[in-house]
Amino acid sequence: MKVRLAKTAGFCMGVRRAMEITLSEANKGDGKLFTYGPLIHNRQVLDLLRSKGVDVKEDIEAHDKGRIVVRAHGITPTERKAIQSSDFKIIDATCPRVAKVQGIIKQYNTKGYTPVIFGDAHHPEVIGLMGYSQGQGIVISSAEDVTTLPEEKRFVVVSQTTQDVDTYREICSAIKARFPEAVIFDTICDETYTRQKEVRSLAAQVDSMVIVGGYKSGNTMRLYQIARSTGKPAFHIETEGELKDSWFSSAGTVGVTAGASTPNWMIKKVIERLRTMGKRKQSFASLLTKGYQFLVKTNIPDAVGAFSLTYAGLILYRGSAPLIYPILTMLYVYGMHVLNRFLDKEASRYNDPGVALFYAQHKVFLIGTALSGLGGGIIISLYLGLPQFLLFLALTILGLVYSVPIIPWRLGYLGRYAKIKDLPGSKTMAEALAWGTISSLLPVIGWPNPVWPGVLASFLFVSSMCYVRCGLLDILNIQGDLIVGRETLPIALGEERALKLLLSSNAFFGLLLLLSAALKIVSNLGYPLLICFLNSFFYLTAYQKDWVRGGSHLQALAEANLLLAGLFALAWNIL
């Protein structure tokens, strides 16, 4: 069955921020950690947080101590005071957009306006907002409720950030008609609005809809109601295990969306399951997609990309590329990537459950081919000479030791960095250096009179391409990496700063290549290869500006960039 995923499915900015703050605090292991109320309305995520030692606290008592996270919904000023007067350290994860609504209520309430809040009176966000109205706020839930508002008041009107847009419009019209002086703010979050709009348009293009998210999550329920209101069959589920074949017996295409509190890994599991259900219609495009997805799971695109990049790097500085070197890099990258997936399967479970399942099902085959690849690499490097063999062996050992604990946990603080990959940001840098070394430095060994500036330019070209690609994948995998306590580049620096770093590195190394080509340090191939930097700039910006949602498209763009480098080099070599 064909599956179409809504671009807006999954964590909203506020929930993602709250999750990241909480997981970063949990990974610090700095004393007891609580959330003030459940962090989000999702049972599976709460179970996961509990497994990481994060407990839920509903009431504050005088003797309480530790750290307590204020969730994205925010809290009342009275609750904040109570926490401040205990021994808790507050970790504030209130969504900035919710904080803005709290500010509006506070500001207008002091001017004598009575706050009218459209929302669910029992929802924590609304309870928090009411706290800023000094007991004067009025919660309404429909346009009919406007008739119950007292005549003599001046009103300021806001909405719970995740409420239904159309109902709020009706309420605002009713208030304007009855109280022309009322001050109305559009406080429904853009993310909610876009999500609801997308459900309507997606439902029109598919045979049925699946909404993934907690049964107690208000915004997920609203998505479900909107999907049902379109007339298409709609199903609300929490996990992929609830999907039934009978729901999709005549469906060719199913649309999937998810509430703001549904993590990516749960959505991915649902998609994987749906793809195996319903009517099977094999178009050429769907076969191509399936083929590509299969290749991604096997790590073959990475290995072919490494082949391609080595080929381009060699032509860049020596004008020719004996295929033995690209093949050596390809075998190394394939073997290392597959074995590291096994050594690091926890993160895969969350970042890409489909890949994790594939690895569990084809363990023997994958480990066998990875070891054969590395074995083949060892034979080739031996054929090239002893120094090449020793370098290949050293890189292989380093690649394996990278994911294996070498410092015991009991060594306190140092134990946090038990593996090399635990060092903040080390993964991106280590991978880039390894690719650069095997692609550009290993082939120079035994070569008479190498032109070192050219070798260095090629090394930087290959390493920077790999660094930017790997950095983007780390950003896409931030949820799973945080859960397993990895300190990748975006976790160490924060996503925004990591993106800026990748964009500036890309620009810097692109300029360096331009300069190297202009000064004849490298061949003229340097000019067309600048397009690869432009492509990297494009996919990083596409992520930053939200032009492309869904990690798999961005990943495909990043992989294609490596192939592009090889194709340019091949064309340059032939012409």
For position 162 contacting ligand SF4 by CB under 6 A, the verdict is yes
**Annotated catalytic residue, options 79, 125, 191, 272:** 125
Residue 20 or 352 with smaller CB distance to ligand SF4: 20
Residue 96 or 446 with smaller CB distance to ligand SF4: 96
Q: What is the DSSP letter of 439?
A: I
Only segment of 8-16, 33-41, 337-345, 500-508 that touches ligand SF4 (CB under 6 A): 8-16
In angstroms, give the least distance from the CB of 103 to ligand SF4. Answer: 13
Which residue in this structure is represented by tokens 């749960």? 266
Only segment of 11-19, 336-344, 485-493, 536-544 that touches ligand SF4 (CB under 6 A): 11-19
Q: Catalytic: 431?
A: no
Cβ(559)–Cβ(305) under 8 Å? yes
Only segment of 10-18, 132-140, 263-271, 475-483 that touches ligand SF4 (CB under 6 A): 10-18
The number of angstroms, rounded, from the C-alpha of 276 to the middle of its chain's C-alpha atoms is 24
For position 95 contacting ligand SF4 by CB under 6 A, the verdict is yes
Strands 183-184 and 155-159: parallel
Residue 127 or 331 with smaller CB distance to ligand SF4: 127
- Number of helices and strands in the chain (H, E): 23, 12
For position 93 contacting ligand SF4 by CB under 6 A, the verdict is no
For position 72 contacting ligand SF4 by CB under 6 A, the verdict is yes
Only segment of 90-98, 112-120, 139-147, 542-550 that touches ligand SF4 (CB under 6 A): 90-98
Structure tokens at 131: 């706290």
Containing 268, the helix (H) or strand (E) segment is helix 264-274
For position 14 contacting ligand SF4 by CB under 6 A, the verdict is yes
In angstroms, give the least distance from the CB of 496 to ligand SF4. Answer: 16
| Residue 118: φ, ψ to 5° | -85, 120
| Residue 12: φ, ψ to 5° | -85, 175
Cβ(32)–Cβ(66) under 8 Å? yes
How many residues sit in the footprint of ligand SF4 (CB under 6 A)? 14
- DSSP for 512-536, written as a single string: HHHHHHHTTSS-TTHHHHHHHHHHH
Q: Which residues, numbered 238-267, are part of the site for ligand SF4 (CB under 6 A)? A: 260
The 168-207 site mask, x for binding ligand SF4 (CB under 6 A), equals ---------------------x-xx---------------
Residue 41 or 236 with smaller CB distance to ligand SF4: 41
Q: How much of the chain is helix, strand and coil, in % rounded to 5?
A: 65, 10, 30
Query: Which residue number has the CB closest to ligand SF4?
Result: 14
Enumerate residues 6+ apart whose C-beta is below 8 A from 89. Answer: 66, 67, 68
| Burial class of 550 by CB neighbour count within 10 A (0 to 12, 13 to 18, 19+) | middle
Structure tokens at 8: 């807006």
Only segment of 12-20, 55-63, 151-159, 330-338 that touches ligand SF4 (CB under 6 A): 12-20
Among 15, 68, 336, 562, binds ligand SF4 (CB under 6 A): 15
> Which residue from 478, 483, 467, 421 is spatially nearest to 23, judged by alpha carbons?
483
> Footprint of ligand SF4 on this chain (CB under 6 A)?
12-15, 72, 95, 97-98, 161-162, 189, 191-192, 260
The residues carrying an active-site annotation are: 125
